[in-house]
Structure 1
Amino acid sequence: MKVIDSENWAWFLFEHEGGLYLDANCNMSAFGYTYMIRLNEKEQAQYTDGGREYLNKLAHDIHYSVPIAKDTSSIYKGRDVSNELTELATEAVKLWREGSNES
């Protein structure tokens, strides 16, 4: 897994085994959490067309749909892959930050 891009305090974009994953920084009241989804074909096409601006919108949509709420109707509910990929993502961010500090 590797970091492709990020927006401070909003999201990370990862590549892993040929797939793209968006890890959105969300909160529900005072509770902060991240919600990582694998981009589907439509989302990948929109990212190709819209770049970072599309990812900003997607992260915003994930956050405001509150996919972790019990009674949510979020279209992102059930797509969270954070549990499976947290360790890989944490290591990828660590390596990415170390690499961006080298000049």
Structure 2
Amino acid sequence: MKVIDSENWAWFLFEHEDHLYLDANCNMSAFGYTYMIQLNDEERYAFKAGGHEYLNQLAHDIHYSVPIAADTRSKYKDRDVSKKFSEMATDAVREWRQAKSVE
């Protein structure tokens, strides 16, 4: 897994085994959490067309849909892969930050 792009305090985009994953920084009241989804074909196409700005909008949409709320109607509700990739994502961010500090 490697970091492809990021927006400070908002999201990271990862690539792993030819798949893209957006890890959005979210909160619900005072509770902060991250929510990672695998980009589907439609989202990958939109990312190719809209780039970084599209990811800003997608992260915003995830955050404001509150996919972890019990009564949510978020279209992202059942797409969370955070637990599956948490350790790999943490390692990828650490490596990415170390590489940036050397530049």
Q: TM-score w.r.t. structure 2 length?
A: 0.99
* SS of alignment partner, residue 44 of structure 2: helix
Determine whether 1:36 maps to 2:36. Answer: yes
CA distance in 1, matches of 2:85, 2:59: 18
CA distance in 2, matches of 1:84, 1:39: 15
Query: In the alignment, which residue of structure 2 is the partner of 1:82?
Result: 82
* SS of alignment partner, residue 77 of structure 2: coil
List runs of 5+ in structure 1 lacking aligned partners: none
Which of the two has greater helix per residue?
2
CA distance in 2, matches of 1:80, 1:16: 16
CA distance in 2, matches of 1:6, 1:56: 9
CA distance in 2, matches of 1:11, 1:83: 16
CA distance in 2, matches of 1:61, 1:21: 15
User: Sequence identity, in percent?
Assistant: 70
